A and B are shown apart, each in its own frame.
Chain A
Amino acid sequence: MDWVAPHWSAMANLARRLGASDTWEDVLQDALTSAWRNRTRFVPERGSARNWLLAITADQARKSWRSAGRRRRRDAAFPEPGAQLAPGIDLDLERAIARLPHRQRVAVTLHYLMGLPVNDAAAVMGCSPGTVKSTLFEARRHLRSELGEEYR
């Protein structure tokens, strides 16, 4: 799986961002296992390996949250106990992002935090670029509301 190595760091970052602090490595392992099992389904002409691997990682993260139960997802505290925070991090923004609905959190993570263009984020999320933009729009409204930056 030499083709995974160039994207391993991005997969790990996405799993960290979308998974819980105590399960993100499981998310990463499950994503890698799923990619291995389904490697023959990957068609390079239909998209990049990075986007395919990130899509699988995002999907595994969603399954992980679901299996942890809806209550935990709704009440997820941030930062979680034991979570290690980087110095200089914008805690208010981190908390607000953590409270976004999953789909909006995926879009914000891919586009703003990982720097993917909207088209690539759309490929990862399995939707149109317009849907990603719409999701980002909703996310910004949520974040402004959470951060007290509503425009009037």
Chain B
Amino acid sequence: MTQDLESRLRRHGEVLADTQADPPPLAPMIRVASGHGPARASWGPIALAAVVVVVVATIPVLLRIAGPSSDRPSAAPAAIPATVTVNGVVETLVGTEGWTAPVADETAPDVVWVYAEIQGGPSCLWTPVPYVVAATATAVTIKIATYVRPATSTTYQPAVCVDVKRPSQRLKVTLGAPLAGRKLVDAFDGSSHPVLDPATVPAPTTVPAGYVARPVAWSSLNGFATGFGKEANAGIRTYAGAAGTVSISAGPAASLGGNLPEVLRRTTVHGHPAVASADRGFEQDILVVWTEAPDRAFAVHQMSNDDPKHPALTLDEVIAFANSLN
């Protein structure tokens, strides 16, 4: 079935616009907003006071949990400090969070990068700091401690945290020794996560002028790998420039999701049959997919900025980029 999703979405928007109920009257809500109407209960200051009390009461407990214990051998466990100084501001420990999607560093064997999953508050106010809290012959355990700035009139209630996108925060963790074959464990819930080896994602021999490499990452961070099915967790290498981004994804062939609605060209990459396609209305956002072996399929995807001053790569250039992968 190849129903045009774009048209269906736009039609749906038109139906909603035609049938949308009137908004509530503005005037009474402005009176409440400006403090001249019947105010609703404001729990902000009460909640803040409660948080402070809980933080003070739980810091000793958190410190005991974070510290070394007799039944958990540790090579060099880190003590979790009660405060950290960030840009000259002393921030207070408020708890711990989970992390995900670890990636080995491309050059330093004792460094991994993890992504903090901050759920506890406005991400623009909370600072995650990673600590290695246990290291044995078989596993390394990492804990993310979160710290918060002191509440002031200017920091407690920002207008917009721009939290809509809420990117996970990428954090560098120095293990003290190469991870080798050891498991990487999240102290938050005891789960272990596979570590992505950046070498499994090919890099181009020639990067288009003006494009800069972003860190290699698991596709799970942003939903899924372009070109692969949503269940696939592939590695992605991205290059960003003023014209947009070009990314390379690598994963098993069985997870390859196939083409987009508009097939632009059937071609070859490294001698293998490949298809270049795009979504209708987004013809510059080119996807090239091909399979080299059952366990090795690839996708190159351009996401343009539609900026006339910075033209995106042409179809020929995207295909050439794919052929330049090592």
Interface positions of A (Cβ within 8 A of B) = 1, 4-5, 8-9, 11-13, 16, 25, 28-29, 32-38, 41, 52, 55-56, 58-59, 62-63, 66, 70, 84, 86-90, 93-94, 101-104, 106, 108, 112-115, 118, 124-131, 133-135, 137-138, 140-145, 147-152
CB pair B230 A86 closer than 8 Å = no
Q: How far is it, in angstroms, between the C-alpha of A112 and the C-alpha of B26 when the chains are bound? A: 26
**Inter-subunit contact A106/B164 (CB<8 Å):** yes
Mask of B1-27 contacts with A, CB within 8 angstroms, 1/0: 111011011111101111111111010
Q: How far is the CA of A70 from the CA of B166 in the complex (A)?
A: 15
CB atoms of B223 and A104 under 8 A apart? yes
Cβ-neighbour of B8 out of A1, A93, A130, A150 (below 8 A): A93
Which A residues touch B306, using CB under 8 A?
118, 129, 133
Known: A13-B23, A88-B19, A127-B165. 7 other contacts (CB 8 A): A9-B23, A13-B16, A28-B23, A62-B163, A125-B165, A130-B305, A137-B282
Q: Within the assembled complex, what's the spacing in Å between the Cα atoms of A118 and B226?
A: 20
Which residue in chain A gives the minimum CB-CB distance to B226?
Answer: A137
Which residue of chain B lies nearest to A94 when distances are taken between CB atoms in the complex? B12
B180 within 8 A of A: no
Nearest-neighbor residue (CB-CB) of A38 within chain B: B159
Type the 1/0 row for B254-267, where 1 means its CB is closer than 8 Å to any CB of A.
00011111000000
With A133-B282, A152-B259 in contact, do A103 and B165 touch (Cβ < 8 Å)?
Answer: yes
What residues of A have a CB within 8 angstroms of the CB of B141 in the complex?
none
Q: What are 18 inter-chain pairs, A to B, with CB distance below 8 A?
A: A5-B26, A8-B23, A8-B26, A12-B23, A33-B33, A36-B30, A41-B159, A56-B159, A86-B20, A88-B19, A90-B8, A90-B11, A114-B13, A125-B162, A134-B222, A134-B245, A134-B303, A142-B230
B34 within 8 A of A: yes
Are B223 and A113 in contact, with the CB atoms below 8 A? no
Interface core residue of B10, B15, B16 (most chain A CB under 10 Å): B16
